[in-house]
Amino acid sequence: MRVTYLAFALLIGIASCSGVTQRRKTIPSTDEAWVMSNRTISFNKYKANGLLDTSISISYMYIKGRLFDSSTTFMVRKYDHHNNLVDEQEYDVRETIKKSNTRTVYSFDENNRKLTEIRQVGNFATDTLRYEYDVSGSNTVLTIIHKMTDIRSDGRVPVKPPIDTTISRFTYNKDGAVIKAVVTRPNGDTVDISCNLYSNGQKQSSYTIGKNGDAIAKSSYFKEYNYLKEVGENTTFGSMDTSWEINGKIYESISHHTKLKFKSRTTYKYDSKGNEVESISYN
């Protein structure tokens, strides 16, 4: 039954994706040589009301351009009577499907605003996100609690599993766009402060200031063809990043890490409903 279900879902996914992939218009290519390191193809099955139901993803891993491994996962989702996504679980076909690799559970208030988001990542960690809103309905506070589990990779139990908690407070402009985000610890210590600058509704630049008052990241935004192009620099990681997106969907990203002497490039494709159907990574 398990094999039958997977095969059936895969066939439905193939049919649902055929001919509807959104292809990006030409993004200026670089003169660099790139070697494929990973390719993931996803097949999405939708409910009759258009909600995303099941996704099957097949990933191929490459070393020096040669295929050396592959894996298949599938994601199942549940919705409440208001069509809010309340549960999604990912399973690895190579493992028992009785236990998911990752699971995310959501809760909502009476106005269908997200209140909590709890992500369980295998046996490794749990992330809890809590949302708070102002009278206008804007998300003004986001608390993220990252907790490692009590089990180490070698099977031993740490004395005190680390817990990392951050609290983000957002400020919006009259158009509802975030212009400032302050991230602190529960004791009030500042982690970083991010600011966004806009002109005629278009984001022009953003920058992040670290706890010592130094700029640790900055980005500039441009219109290029029908894309919003972001060029960013992160001094902490020694990276330069460039991405091209449309309506919040990234179609290509390129990163150069000077400290690690590493580069990467990823391209994305989406179906007609805006859900990812392919990603290819290069280095």
Burial class for 10, CB neighbours closer than 10 Å (0-12, 13-18, 19+)? middle
User: How far is the C-alpha of 39 from the C-alpha of 61, rounded, in Å?
Assistant: 7
Instruction: Tell me which amino acid residue 77 is.
Output: R
In this structure, the number of other CB atoms found within 10 A of the CB of residue 6 comes to 17
Please, what is the Cα angle at 204 between 167 and 209, to 5 degrees? 35
6-36 pLDDT, tens digit per residue, is 444 444 444 444 334 444 455 655 667 899 9
pLDDT of res. 11: 45
Cα dist from 143 to 136, 163, 209, 268, whole Å: 19, 13, 19, 30
Check residue 3 and give its pLDDT.
43
pLDDT value at position 17?
40
pLDDT at 86 over 90: yes
Would you say 236 and 217 are in contact if contact means Cβ atoms under 8 Å apart? yes
In this structure, are residues 16 and 272 in contact, taking their beta carbons and an 8 Å threshold?
no
Separation CA 221–CA 243 (nearest Å): 10
